[in-house]
């Protein structure tokens, strides 16, 4: 007999994802004491400490908590699937899809909409994260199909390229940068500028690091003023003069066309990377998952 509840797992996951008991309490509309009590009860039932606090009261997962987290996410995802199945006895479980930032912006809106027209009864559960997080979630079974921006996370997974992304150096639209652009300066020549970078583990960050190694620019010479996991926040900081950044052109095209940002090609050939669809090798796919995988590959032009 289980000595813990789904509510305790839900609260545990929420605290883990916010790194805060207070933030989790706000999202779940509970008091902080109630959240703490549920976590304490779960720790007692499992016989393990799941969270630790440092001197600044920052909350982080213990090694035991990190092992529990993906299993708890799978349990909650399966419960969500059951809810959908019970609502419609003929329904298949929803497609559990995950995507890192660039694929979520570039690939998914059109792809999910097009597949929904073909399969109008389809339902999606979508998770966001960086490329490493999405690949890990596919391996654990928490999500079934992922979209990421780097090949480096393909170990142990099946994957195919489904789109191409173009990365550009983005700067404020100031007199200095306008003059540099007029002179035909490439983005690689601005790598030493104060930089607002994507988070480590993101496909964009890995593509930039790989590019710097190829062109012989030492990674340690990057002048990173901030690492941020939200491209919209990065874009806003660059626009306000905090630094430069390498971002997907599609993520900044509107601002560039409106004259709020400038975009520099990294070099004469441009910096391009492929975006990948991934799934677990030898996975026992449902008919809907197989249909989606085939549809996505056909839509990308890859057989």
pLDDT at 86: 56
- 244 versus 130: which is more confidently predicted? 244
- pLDDT at residue 186 is higher than 90: yes
Pairing mode, strands 145-148 and 95-99: parallel
Q: Does domain 166-270 have CATH number 3.40.190.10?
A: yes
Residue spans per domain, the chain: 6-68, 75-163+274-300, 166-270
Give CA–CA dist 270/272, Å, rounded: 6
- pLDDT at residue 128 is higher than 90: no
Which residues, other chains included, contact 163 with Cβ-Cβ below 8 Å and sequence gap of 6+?
A: 103, 106, 107, 274, 275, 300
- pLDDT at residue 82 is higher than 70: no
Fold agreement between 75-163+274-300 and 166-270 = yes
Q: Which of 22-36, 51-65, 102-116, 210-224 has the lowest mean pLDDT?
A: 51-65
Q: What percent of the chain has pLDDT over 90?
A: 33
Average pLDDT over residues 227-241: 87
- Identify the three-state secondary structure at position 130: coil
pLDDT digits (tens, 9 = 90+) for 132-156: 888 888 988 888 999 998 887 778 8
Give CA–CA dist 43/65, Å, rounded: 9
pTM of the predicted structure, to 2 decimals: 0.62
- pLDDT at residue 88 is higher than 60: no
DSSP secondary structure string, 97-120?
EEE-HHHHHHTHHHHHHHHHHHST
pLDDT digits (tens, 9 = 90+) for 156-175: 888 999 888 899 999 999 99
In CATH, what is the architecture of 75-163+274-300? Answer: 3-Layer(aba) Sandwich (3.40)
Query: 252: how many CB neighbours lie within 10 A of its CB?
Result: 23
pLDDT at 169: 96
- 112 versus 282: which is more confidently predicted? 112
Q: Which of 115-119, 177-181, 200-204, 235-239 has the lowest mean pLDDT?
A: 200-204
Q: How confident is the model at residue 125 (pLDDT cuts 50, 70, 90)?
A: confident
Give 218-242 as a 3 state SS string: CHHHCEEEEEECCHHHHHHHHHCCC
Q: Does domain 6-68 have CATH number 1.10.10.10?
A: yes
- pLDDT at residue 211 is higher than 70: yes
Mean pLDDT of the chain: 86
pLDDT at 303: 45
pLDDT at 141: 85
pLDDT digits (tens, 9 = 90+) for 268-295: 999 998 899 999 888 788 889 999 999 9
Burial per residue of 179-200, b for 16 or more beta-carbon CB atoms within 10 angstroms, e otherwise: ebeeeeebbbbbbebebbbbee
């Amino acid at each position: 007999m289980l000595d813990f509840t789904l509510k305790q797992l839900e609260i545990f996951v929420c605290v883990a994802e916010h790194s805060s008991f207070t933030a989790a309490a706000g999202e779940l509309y509970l008091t902080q004491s109630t959240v703490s009590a549920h976590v304490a009860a779960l720790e007692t039932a499992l016989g393990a400490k799941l969270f630790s606090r440092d001197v600044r009261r920052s909350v982080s997962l213990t090694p035991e908590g990190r092992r529990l987290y993906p299993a708890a996410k799978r349990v909650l995802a399966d419960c969500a699937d059951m809810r959908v199945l019970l609502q419609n006895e003929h329904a298949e479980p929803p497609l559990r899809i995950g995507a890192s930032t660039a694929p979520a912006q570039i690939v998914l809106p059109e792809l999910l909409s097009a597949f929904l027209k073909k399969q109008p009864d389809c339902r999606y559960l979508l998770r966001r994260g960086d490329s490493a997080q999405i690949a890990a979630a596919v391996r654990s079974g928490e999500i079934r199909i992922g979209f990421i921006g780097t090949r480096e996370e393909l170990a142990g997974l099946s994957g195919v390229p489904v789109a191409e992304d173009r990365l550009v150096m983005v700067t404020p639209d100031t007199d200095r940068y306008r003059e540099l652009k007029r002179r035909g300066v490439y983005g690689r020549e601005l790598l030493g500028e104060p930089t607002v970078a994507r988070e480590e583990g993101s496909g964009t960050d890995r593509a930039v690091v790989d590019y710097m190694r190829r062109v012989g620019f030492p990674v340690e010479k990057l002048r990173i003023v901030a690492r941020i996991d939200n491209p919209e926040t990065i874009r806003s900081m660059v626009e306000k003069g905090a630094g430069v950044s390498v971002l997907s052109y599609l993520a900044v095209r509107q601002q560039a066309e409106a004259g709020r940002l400038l975009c520099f090609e990294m070099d004469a050939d441009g910096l391009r990377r492929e975006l990948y669809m991934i799934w677990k090798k030898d996975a026992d796919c449902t008919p809907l998952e197989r249909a989606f995988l085939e549809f996505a590959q056909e839509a990308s032009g890859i057989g």
